[in-house]
Amino acid sequence: MSRLVSINNTYDSYQSLISLFEQYKEELFGDIHLEIRNFFAANMSAALGAVLDTFTANLNNIHFDYLSPQIEAVLLKNDFLTYYGKKRAIDVHNTTIKFQKLKPSDGKYFKNYVIEELIEGHTADLPRMSDGVKERILEAIYEIFVNAQMHSETKFIYTCGQFFPAKNKIEFTIVDKGIGFREKINSRFIHLKVKLT
């Protein structure tokens, strides 16, 4: 059994998810048991979803043996747990930005998702913005998706977020399981070298 404790947007939290990945990445046809205790930042569902998706692709079953009640409530509201057979809960406070697993070809869907979930979905709580500012925000977020789409060679892109009205803050995460910048650049240089000789 693996235990995740206080997962936030920190280096240590990402290291915890990397350790989880390393522990089970070779597992096949198994049962993977998880506990999530103390705190789990909702936007980190994107990162956890990418890790767990690797395990389910290897035909493993994911079991959440324990989720603290607060964590479970958030993960039911943002649709993360629906991927593992749980029923979605209504977000009466409208602070969650749904977890999504998208194909790189889903660019149009992603754009609509950002408009509906991020920009229009929180209009009452966000500072008043002109249509031009909203368009620039959309373009900036969409560019991140396009970079993953074009360069990462990933099969799926994972997104999720959370809005904090009292802090006037949004935490939004986009994750892919692609090859990364270093490998992409190195492969291009190797390709160029081969072509030049």
Lookup: tokens for 43: 């936007």
Pairing type for strands 157-164 and 96-102 reads antiparallel
First to last CA, the chain: 52
Listed in sequence order, the residues at least 6 apart from 77 whose beta carbon sits closer than 8 Å to its beta carbon are 88, 89, 90, 91, 96
Determine if residue 94 is left, alpha or beta; phi over 0 gives left, psi from -120 to 50 gives alpha, anything else beta.
left
Q: Which candidate, 60, 36, 35, 48, places its Cα nearest to that of 9?
A: 48
Cα atoms in the Cβ-side hemisphere of radius 13 Å centred on 129: 16
Give the pTM. Answer: 0.86
Residue with tokens 């943002």: 78
As separate numbers, helices (DSSP H) first and strands (DSSP E) second, the chain gives: 6, 6
Instruction: Note down pLDDT in tens along the chain; length 197 residues.
Output: 899 999 999 999 999 999 999 999 999 999 999 999 999 999 999 999 999 999 999 999 999 999 999 999 999 999 999 999 999 999 998 889 999 999 999 999 999 998 888 877 765 566 677 888 888 888 888 888 888 888 888 899 999 999 888 887 889 999 999 876 566 556 555 555 544 44
Q: How many CB atoms lie within 10 A of CB 52?
A: 23
Listed in sequence order, the residues at least 6 apart from 83 whose beta carbon sits closer than 8 Å to its beta carbon are 49, 99, 101
Q: Would you call 148 helix, strand, or coil by DSSP?
A: helix
Q: Do residues 146 and 157 make contact, with C-beta atoms less than 8 angstroms apart?
A: no
Say how far apart CA 154 and CA 12 lie, in whole Å.
25
Give me the helices (H) in the chain, please: 11-24, 45-57, 69-77, 107-113, 131-151, 180-196
Listed in sequence order, the residues at least 6 apart from 109 whose beta carbon sits closer than 8 Å to its beta carbon are 102
Say how far apart CA 7 and CA 37 lie, in whole Å.
9
Report the pLDDT value the prediction gives residue 197, as an integer from 0 to 100.
43
